[in-house]
Amino acid sequence: MARALKSDHVIKPPEDIRKPHISILEIRDGMKDIRIEDFFKFGFVRNPWDRVVSLYNRTEGRQMRDKMTFDEFVAWIQNNSDTSIFTSRHKHQLDWFSDENGEVLVDFIGKFEHLERDWKYVCEQLGISIDLPHIRKNAQNTQHYTEYYSDKTKAIIEQKFRLDIEYFGYSFCE
């Protein structure tokens, strides 16, 4: 999305808060002279069980599939608060969109599972027409995410990400 939005038609945040993954609080705090309320703010979430498989298989620097089994990775996730590619305070995906009191500060949260449809909506809101390139396809995700899980690991992720599952209406077999 960041690459698709590198356009003259989109207002960019100041250089010091530009990074691939940034929370609404970081944006708000980094744009002190600009009212973020005047802008369309959005982000995307992913089914937590699918997201954990993607994190396990990802091709970025902290790839885990060569270091531990999936069950070991889920046990690590269970006891780790940093479940993002980038070190952050975010335990849940909802944290990226909320303030200190849990109030959601963005106008739209799309779902990875409906990426094309939700991206089209974002473009309509921004008054732009930009195709969304698929740049970082993970070639390791050859199985459906449900095939990675035992009853035990499925329950661990359900407990760990209960807030996201309930807020965004996810289920294991979505």
Residue 116 falls within a domain, yes or no?
A: yes
The single-letter code of the amino acid at 76 is W
Q: How many domains is the chain partitioned into structurally?
A: 1
Residue 114 falls within a domain, yes or no?
A: yes
The set of residues, in sequence order, having a beta carbon less than 8 Å from that of 72 and lying 6+ positions away, is: none
Which pLDDT does position 160 carry in this prediction?
92
Mean pLDDT in residue range 7-25: 61
- What is the C-alpha end-to-end distance of the chain, expressed in Å? 23
Given a cut of 90, whether residue 76 has pLDDT beyond it is: no
Query: What residue numbers bound the domain in which 52 lies?
Result: 15-168
The set of residues, in sequence order, having a beta carbon less than 8 Å from that of 43 and lying 6+ positions away, is: 24, 96, 97, 106, 108, 109, 110
Quick one: residue 127, left, alpha or beta (phi over 0 = left, psi -120 to 50 = alpha)? left
Residue 60 falls within a domain, yes or no?
A: yes
Residue 56 falls within a domain, yes or no?
A: yes
Give the integer Cα–Cα distance in Å for 174 and 171. 5
Give the integer Cα–Cα distance in Å for 36 and 86. 24
The single-letter code of the amino acid at 25 is L
Rg (CA), the chain: 17
Residue 174 falls within a domain, yes or no?
A: no
Residue 8 falls within a domain, yes or no?
A: no
pTM over 0.85: no
Residue 9 falls within a domain, yes or no?
A: no
| pLDDT tens by residue, 23-38 | 788 777 777 777 888 8
Residue 140 falls within a domain, yes or no?
A: yes
Mean pLDDT in residue range 41-54: 92
Give the integer Cα–Cα distance in Å for 44 and 97. 10
Give the integer Cα–Cα distance in Å for 27 and 14. 9
